[in-house]
Amino acid sequence: MTSYGLTLSINPSRAGKLLFVPVLVLTTIHTATMLLWFNDLLPADEWWHIALFDLDEEESFGTWYSTLILFTAGQLCLIQSWLERKGAGRSTGSWLFLAVGFHILSIDEVVGLHEYVNTLVEDTAWTTFGAIIVLIIGLANLPFLARLPSRTRNLFVIAGAIYVGGALGVERATDWYDVNDLMNTLAYNLWTAVEEFMEMSGIVLFIFALLERIAPAGRKPARVEIQFRR
């Protein structure tokens, strides 16, 4: 029986840089657009054009890209989970848990599941519940992190800190604008750029670290080979 296969080779360093370019572009366009808009340098009847690049809008290029990279991170975690199981590793379940988590986050980017938390508990911001969940997950995954190589562990921790700092830290700091009905201001929209930049950067760094982890040990430059056979 003839076997057919496809080998996909990826350079983690180049992939990370390539994924980071849209982060810079989207953040720059958002910032420039808001500076022009709130200084009355753009036509008032062309807001729908601006909304496409507004990182705080659900139907925008920024939301699409965040969803894409979160989904990519989830798929890579699935691959690593399969590799762990194939090699009789101890972290198969942990990688699978991460895969599920990233896929849920990718869905949340579009559906806005976290926003429904505020409708259930009006007196408490969703970031409070988010912080509790992050703390629980972080503590539960300490043994998993301890088993990782030091470089991978450090990159994961840095990536997580950047992502959570944007998703929860900056979000929490900007609650004041929401409470005082100041979301349609330049200051709030500039903070949005900081928040989304941190979130997307954290995900890209995680993907880079994960690609390095999947890559065969000692390969220079490190490359990932994924084979599909039938």
User: pLDDT tens, 95-149?
Assistant: 999 999 999 999 988 887 766 666 666 655 667 777 888 899 899 999 999 999 9
What's the sign of the alpha-carbon dihedral 32, 37, 42, 47? positive
Cα-Cα-Cα-Cα torsion 65, 70, 73, 79, nearest 10 degrees, comes to -110
Residue that has been written with the tokens 């989207």 in this structure: 26
Beta bridge partners of 229: 5
52 DSSP 8-state letter: T
What are 7-21's pLDDT values in tens digits? 667 889 999 999 999
Contact 211, 8 (CB under 8 A): no
| CA–CA distance, 108 with 116 (Å, rounded to integer) | 11
Report domain extents, the chain: 5-59+113-229
pTM given for the model? 0.88
Q: Please confirm whether the linkage preceding 12 is cis (ω < 30° from 0).
A: no
